Amino acid sequence: GQSLEQPSEVTAVEGAIVQINCTYQTSGFYGLSWYQQHDGGAPTFLSYNALDGLEETGRFSSFLSRSDSYGYLLLQELQMKDSASYFCAVLSASKIIFGSGTRLSIRP
């Protein structure tokens, strides 16, 4: 079957760095995306990796290793507004699958 695994919760301190991991088991993998969702809001796109390596967009970076079926989202200089749920999602053989989400809590 096809599945994505990501931690359900992560806690970090304001100003710190946090990494949210995502491992997947799929067939015909095309790419991995990350979405952010604040409570009561809609998911918003953060990043997409189709090839191995690191993609950087401001304070956020995303990494992919296709050989390890693994990716992560790195958030730097954490701000209180980064408190949200983060979802990884994959496209695999025309199937789109979202992970169950990681709830990031940030302490002052």
Judged by CB under 8 A, the stretch of 12-20, 26-34, 61-69, 73-81 that binds other proteins is 26-34
- C-alpha dist (Å) from residue 99 to 10, 34, 67, 77, 102: 15, 10, 19, 25, 9
DSSP assigned state of 101: -
Tokens of 98: 């979202």
Q: Binding residue for other proteins (CB under 8 A) from 101, 102, 104, 106?
A: 101
* Amino acid, res. 105: S
How far apart, in whole angstroms, are the C-alpha atoms of residue 22 and residue 9? Answer: 13
Q: Does 31 sit near other proteins (CB under 8 A)? A: yes
15 is a contact residue toward other proteins (CB under 8 A)? no
Stretch that binds other proteins, among 19-27, 37-45, 51-59, 66-74 (CB under 8 A): 37-45
Instruction: Catalog residues that contact other proteins under the rule CB under 8 A.
Output: 30-33, 35, 41-45, 48, 50, 87, 89-91, 94-101
